[in-house]
Amino acid sequence: MDSIRVQGGIALEGKVRIQGSKNAALPILAACILVRDQVFLENCPRIADVYGMLQILESLGCRARWEKEGLRIDTSNLSDGCMPREAVTGMRSSIFLLGPMLARCGQVELEHPGGCVIGERPIDMHLKALAEMGAVFEENERTTTGRADRLRGADITLSFPSVGATENVLMAAVFAEGTTRIIGAAREPEVQALCEFLNLCGADIRGIGKPVLTVEGGRSLKGCSYRIPADRIVAGTYLLAGFAAGGSIFLEDAPFRHMEAVLDTAEKMGACLAVTREGIYAQCPERAENIPRLRTDVYPGFPTDLQSVLLAVSCTGKGDSIICESIFENRFRVVEDLQSMGAQIERLSEREVRVSGAYRLKGKAVSARELRGGAALTAAALGAEGESVISGRRYIDRGYENIARDLRELGARIVCE
């Protein structure tokens, strides 16, 4: 079966440990290609997207082994840059391999990446930036092929602070000759984690967390042990889920230092929060106070990956809320399912909706169509009257180790089927 069954209307109570970050783990796994040695990644999340990335790496000759505390990777026997089609199908994160494969092998060929249907997410910015460093690309309907006899450092100005483009350039720049500056770089914590990992391996990256990153290239990297940081999106999901069901929860190991916008929003919605070194304690009201207007933005703004969950929670809040999606144009695919549960949502434009809070949603059979929308439907089901069945669990498994197990830790009646 591929579904989650939820009995709604039960307040949450308890604590749950937050898993390692999906968005940090995937580019770091790609960066292991640059290390002709073993790497040990503690706290690596056991999620579908990580397993998919490992399948790609193993198809290229790398070896991976799960151990009690994490994942051991050995890329010393890496083959050429041609990835089997079956390994890449549905894997948006395969795009992270462009930079490191060009750097180490001088060539890369991959099927056009898949992933969630939340927007176009073109790779033009990746290709343009790597071309400025000396790569040459050819594209057809199915594949992108890149070659680089020699990568050279360059000043790369990004027209938008794209996380993926920033990470690809970073990985390529570590091996490139000379100095690379990335101007307009993404500042997300996951980009910072990649920089920290590469520096631990011997790279020289400066300006971490700032909009201009400087990389001194030509370094030889060595193996290391690195701990994947906790997932701020998973922590935010469970925090917001507390508004759907009400109750008091403790999010152990939640990365609160990188959740300022989410915590500020939660407090405005009526949560009482206490932040400690161990995590976040949240006491959530029975009904949230809806935010009059909220706009997603690049870090440190409110994350697009939590917009769908916030939308679901706002459906039972007090008052109206306008939610504007500024990153991806197709983030509102969850609206119809929420409406089937009784939500009052009006589409104002492709990127903007108005939500009028209702007292309670009704449990329904609904379908996850992408990762974060699936998490949003799960949150909505926690506070709904009666039983809900969410199909398409495979999408949720891309980013959550076991969302049903975690929510059961908080007292929810929820099972995977």
* Residues carrying an active site annotation: 116
CA distance linking residue 304 with residue 176, whole number of Å:
32
Q: Which residues contact 291 (CB under 8 A, 6 or more apart)?
A: 265, 268, 269, 314, 321
CA distance linking residue 100 with residue 394, whole number of Å:
28
What is the maximal distance between C-alpha atoms in the chain?
A: 62
DSSP at 149: S
If you search the block for the tokens 């927007």, which residue do you land on? Answer: 119
Count helices and strands in the chain by DSSP H and E runs:
14, 23
Contact 355, 345 (CB under 8 A): yes
Contact 316, 344 (CB under 8 A): no
Polymer length of the chain: 417
Q: Which two tokens stand for residue 32?
A: 């292991």
SS3 240: helix
